[in-house]
C-alpha cells in the first residue's frame, strides 16, 4: 500500500506515492536522484546520510519517507546559493576537511546544524557535535579546522551585515 507524500527539498516542492517502508534516504537518492546523501551503515551510527529536516540535523536513514510528509528539507545539494558555496563548504575545501568525500555531505550538514545553535564552538564542542559522524580518512583534524573556518567566516558575514544595517 503506497501513500502520498508532499515535501519541499532544497526549495523544490515534490509529491510522490511511496511505500511506507521506504526510508527517507532512499527517497532522496532513488526517487529524487539526489545522490549526495549517502548510506554508510545500517545502525544509524555513521552519519553519512545526514540532512537538515525542519531545521534539525537528521539521519535520513532512520526516518521513513512518510514521516517526512510536509517537511522542509535541505540536502548537501541545496546548501550553495546561486553557485556561491556556503562558508562551511568553503571551509572544508580550504582546510582539506575531506579526502574520499563520502562522509563529507553528512559532516557538512551536521556542522550547519551545530553552528545554528552554537555559532562559536570550542574545539571540544565541535568534536562532540561530530559524535554521530564517522570519517575514516581525515582523522577528523582538518574537519575540526574546516568547521572553525566556517564558524569564523559566518560570524564575520553576520557582523558585516549588522554594520551594513547600522
Site for another protein in 41-80 (CB under 8 A): 41-48, 50, 56-59, 61-64, 66-67, 69, 75-77, 79-80
Number of residues this chain uses to bind another protein (CB under 8 A): 80
Q: Decide: is 12 part of the binding site for another protein (CB under 8 A).
A: no
Judged by CB under 8 A, which of 12, 17, 19, 161 binds another protein? Answer: 19
**73 contacts 32 by C-beta, under 8 angstroms:** no
First to last CA, the chain: 57
Residue with cell 510528509: 69
CB 13, min distance to another protein, A: 20
**157 contacts 149 by C-beta, under 8 angstroms:** no
CB 120, min distance to another protein, A: 17
Per DSSP, which regions of 19-153 are E strands? 50-53, 56-59, 72-74
**110 contacts 129 by C-beta, under 8 angstroms:** yes
d(Cα 49, Cα 63) in Å, to the nearest integer? Answer: 11
Q: Which is nearer to another protein, 142 or 154 (CB)?
A: 142
For residue 80, what is its C-alpha cell? 550553495
Q: Which is nearer to another protein, 76 or 154 (CB)?
A: 76
CB 158, min distance to another protein, A: 22
Binding positions for another protein, 137-166, rule CB under 8 A: 137-144
Judged by CB under 8 A, which of 7, 27, 73, 89 binds another protein? Answer: 89
All residues at 6 or more sequence positions from 127 whose CB lies less than 8 Å from its CB, including other chains: 140, 144
CB 70, min distance to another protein, A: 10
Amino acid at each position: 500500500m503506497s501513500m502520498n507524500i508532499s515535501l519541499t527539498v532544497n526549495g523544490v516542492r515534490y509529491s510522490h506515492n511511496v511505500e511506507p517502508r521506504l526510508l527517507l534516504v532512499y527517497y532522496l537518492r532513488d526517487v529524487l536522484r539526489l545522490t549526495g546523501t549517502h548510506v554508510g551503515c545500517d545502525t544509524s551510527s555513521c552519519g553519512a546520510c545526514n540532512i537538515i529536516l525542519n531545521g534539525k540535523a537528521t539521519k535520513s536513514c532512520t526516518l521513513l519517507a512518510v514521516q517526512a510528509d510536509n517537511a522542509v528539507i535541505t540536502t548537501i545539494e541545496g546548501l550553495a546559493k546561486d553557485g556561491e558555496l556556503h562558508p562551511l563548504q568553503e571551509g572544508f575545501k580550504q582546510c582539506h576537511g575531506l579526502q574520499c568525500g563520502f562522509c563529507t555531505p553528512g559532516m557538512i550538514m551536521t556542522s550547519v546544524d551545530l553552528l545554528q545553535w552554537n555559532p562559536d564552538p570550542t574545539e571540544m564542542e565541535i568534536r562532540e557535535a561530530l559524535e554521530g559522524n564517522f570519517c575514516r580518512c581525515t582523522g577528523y583534524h582538518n574537519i575540526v579546522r574546516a568547521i572553525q573556518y566556517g564558524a569564523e567566516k559566518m560570524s564575520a558575514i553576520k557582523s558585516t551585515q549588522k554594520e551594513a544595517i547600522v
